Structure 1
């Protein structure tokens, strides 16, 4: 299994939580916690993204599996965008362009 160093994980989660806060919630609502009111990306590995989701005022850790294989930093971006696009489609909302 591919692993990513802490600097890569910090960069990805920082970008998602700084520039794509709404996308985090769309992903979590579509694939983990439909009633979540907030979501923050906290980590990732080669198999899944990891989010902290707020559900009924309680924070829960959720894992959402990637749709494809992660092998390098470029593949992380591709998979996050694919996951978000699939999440928006599942929820029936218009996906933002990234």
Structure 2
């Protein structure tokens, strides 16, 4: 059973990702799920990975689940580290220069 995070952690991470990193969400979905998304919203996460709802230009929505690249996590700081790793890997897969962290 994957680790579950409390409501405050989930709310903080999801709020940050969906307010400040909308483009990163799209890159991750495109790179790891092959979805040609025009937008993506991070909808959840647990100790094993994260979830997004990706929307295509045709208006179709697809659920995307991506496991954490470093393996299971149990702490909020580890979630940040894994999201950054997903972003960096997404940029690499898509041939995009990642911004500094």
Query: If the TM-score is normalised by the length of the shorter chain, which range does it land in?
Result: over 0.9
**Residue segments in structure 1 that go unaligned for 5+ positions in a row:** none
- CA-atom RMSD, angstroms? 1.1
Question: Contact 2:35/2:54 (CA < 8 Å) preserved in 1?
Answer: no
1:84 to 83, 87, 98: 87
| Residue correspondences, number | 98
- 1-structure distance, mates of 2:79, 2:8: 14
Q: Aligned equivalents of 2:62 and 2:35: distance in 1?
A: 13
Give structure 1 regions of 4+ aligned residues with deviation exceeding 3 angstroms. Answer: none
Confirm or deny that 1:65 pairs with 2:59: no
Structure 2 gap segments, 5+ residues each: none
Is the 1:33–1:53 Cα contact (8 Å) retained in structure 2? no
Does the residue aligned with 1:3 lie in a helix, a strand or coil? coil
Normalising by structure 1, what TM-score? 0.93
